């Protein structure tokens, strides 16, 4: 019997077999689509919808996907997002064209080529001591109500509709990434809450496992304990790169779902090993290569990669399919549609 999208996701994240592998796309920056392929998808599908940006942040370049396109993409999840404070958004909307973008933390982006922005403004790049931190920066007001004024109503509406799993994606629960940006290198209705940090590179970790366990693991554990003491939502942890040495740590501190399973990065490419070693204790989310297959493969290449990953990670549940991080501007819209349609084609094969 066919499941609703929400039933499908909840079944998979409880390590049971859904009617098809769930699909996560277009929900947050980590699972989103840049504006160019989004426009191409709408053109192919004949969809008329405005070109809005996720987080009301054009410089980020990630599209806010309209509902008709989300349905065409077969996405089983809808997102609830936070925002920068209204005064920051207003300041950036009204600034001179092509001038630097600044967020509420004082870090920011420069336009390196027309329409392409790079995060290279780091207000604490010269800080050496705690005193430097105190003197160099006016810290943002995290209690500003304009950050989350929309959240309760959005989550309530989605919960009442009861069709899609709800993923809350608070932008600021990434302490290591926030430190790099600074230095240079309501949730009762929610089913999944996303936190994380980009801890991996193509071949290894950005910091040693020892440093992670001493410095960041306690912070991540506190976040997760806070979330789980107040909600039944599952915790999705996002980290690019090869983080295999830390997966046991993630499981230990209560991570339920690991994203994006960057198959182009070191040991993350060994999907059979990941499934065998960790598949009973953590849910995998992502896995469709955005380094080579999605941007440069043919439609058939994409179809076969989706089939391969589903056959490896899908049996027994515990897998949510998606692209490895954001679908970038170099990905042909035809390949995005090939990916989502292949989920409909192959994603039912392990259904009970």
List all residues 6 or more positions away from 117 whose beta carbon is below 8 Å from its beta carbon.
59, 60, 61, 101, 109, 110, 111
Please write the tens of the pLDDT for every residue from 223-260: 899 889 988 999 999 999 999 999 999 999 999 999 99
Match 């996002």 to its residue by tokens.
Answer: 238
The string of pLDDT tens digits covering residues 21-74 is: 999 999 988 899 999 999 999 999 999 999 999 988 899 999 999 999 999 999
Q: Give dist(CA 19, CA 253) in Å, integer.
A: 30
pLDDT of residue 185: 46
Beta strands in 211-282 (DSSP E): 234-238, 257-259
Higher-pLDDT residue of 178 and 330 is 330
Three-state secondary structure of 28-86: CHHHCEEHHHHHHHHHHHCCCCCCCEHHHCHHHCEECCCHHHHHHCCCCEEEEECCCCH
Closest Cα partner for 187 from 282, 79, 260?
Answer: 79
Q: Which domains does the chain have, with CATH numbers?
A: 5-83+148-346 (3.20.20.210), 88-147 (no CATH)
| Residues 154-174: tens digit of each pLDDT | 999 999 999 999 998 876 545
3-state class (DSSP) for residue 352: coil
Query: How is residue 100 annotated by DSSP?
Result: P
Q: How far apart are CA 340 and CA 321, in angstroms?
A: 9
Q: What percent of the chain has a predicted confidence (pLDDT) above 90?
A: 66
- Angle 162-163-166 from CA coordinates, rounded to 5°: 80
Closest CA to 285 of 321, 313, 249, 248: 321
Banded model confidence at residue 176, pLDDT cuts 50, 70, 90: very low
DSSP single-letter state for residue 191: S
Structure letter (DSSP) for residue 166: E
So what's the pLDDT on residue 329?
95
Confidence class for position 76, pLDDT limits 50, 70, 90: very high
Closest CA to 85 of 111, 63, 55, 107: 55
Give the separation between CA 189 and CA 15, rounded to whole angstroms.
Answer: 21
How far apart, in whole angstroms, are the C-alpha atoms of residue 216 and residue 58? 31
CB contact at 8 A, 9 and 320: yes
The mean per-residue pLDDT over the stretch 312-340 comes to 97
The burial of 351, by beta-carbon neighbours within 10 Å (0-12 exposed, 13-18 middle, 19 or more buried), is given as middle
C-alpha atoms less than 13 angstroms from C-alpha of 189 in its C-beta half-sphere:
20
Q: What is the pLDDT of residue 180?
A: 47
Longest dimension (CA), the chain: 62
Closest by CA position to 239, among listed 293, 173, 318: 173
79-110 tens-digit pLDDT: 998 888 999 999 999 999 999 999 988 889 99
Q: What H or E segment, with its residue span, contains residue 286?
A: strand 283-288
């Amino acid at each position: 019997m066919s499941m609703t999208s929400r039933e499908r996701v909840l079944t998979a994240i409880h390590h049971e077999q859904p009617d098809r592998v769930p699909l996560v796309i277009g929900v947050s920056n980590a699972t989103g689509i840049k504006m160019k392929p989004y426009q191409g998808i709408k053109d192919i599908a004949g969809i008329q919808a405005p070109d809005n940006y996720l987080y009301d942040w054009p410089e980020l370049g990630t599209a806010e996907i309209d509902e008709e396109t989300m349905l065409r993409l077969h996405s089983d999840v809808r997102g609830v997002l936070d925002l920068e404070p209204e005064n920051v958004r207003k300041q950036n909307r009204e600034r001179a064209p092509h001038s630097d973008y600044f967020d509420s933390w004082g870090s920011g982006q420069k336009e390196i080529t027309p329409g392409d922005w790079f995060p290279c403004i780091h207000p604490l790049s010269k800080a050496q001591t705690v005193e430097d931190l105190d003197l160099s920066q006016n810290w943002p007001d995290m209690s500003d109500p304009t950050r989350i004024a929309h959240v309760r109503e959005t989550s309530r509406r989605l919960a009442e509709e009861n069709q899609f799993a709800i993923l809350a994606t608070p932008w600021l629960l990434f302490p290591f990434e926030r430190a790099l940006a600074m230095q240079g290198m309501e949730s009762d209705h929610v089913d999944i809450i996303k936190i994380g940090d980009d801890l991996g590179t193509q071949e290894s970790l950005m910091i040693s496992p020892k440093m992670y366990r001493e410095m960041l693991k306690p912070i991540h554990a506190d976040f997760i304990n806070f979330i789980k003491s107040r909600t039944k939502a599952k915790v999705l942890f996002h980290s690019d790169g090869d983080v295999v040495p830390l997966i046991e740590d993630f499981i230990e501190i209560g991570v339920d779902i690991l994203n994006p399973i960057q198959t182009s990065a070191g040991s993350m490419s060994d999907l059979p090993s990941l499934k065998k070693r960790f598949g009973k204790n953590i849910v995998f989310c992502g896995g469709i290569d955005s380094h080579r297959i999605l941007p440069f493969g043919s439609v058939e290449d994409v179809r076969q990669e989706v089939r391969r990953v589903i056959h490896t990670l899908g049996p027994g549940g515990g897998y949510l399919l998606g692209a490895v991080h954001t679908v970038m501007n170099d990905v042909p819209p035809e390949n995005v549609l090939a990916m989502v349609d292949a989920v409909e084609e192959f994603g039912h094969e392990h259904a009970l």
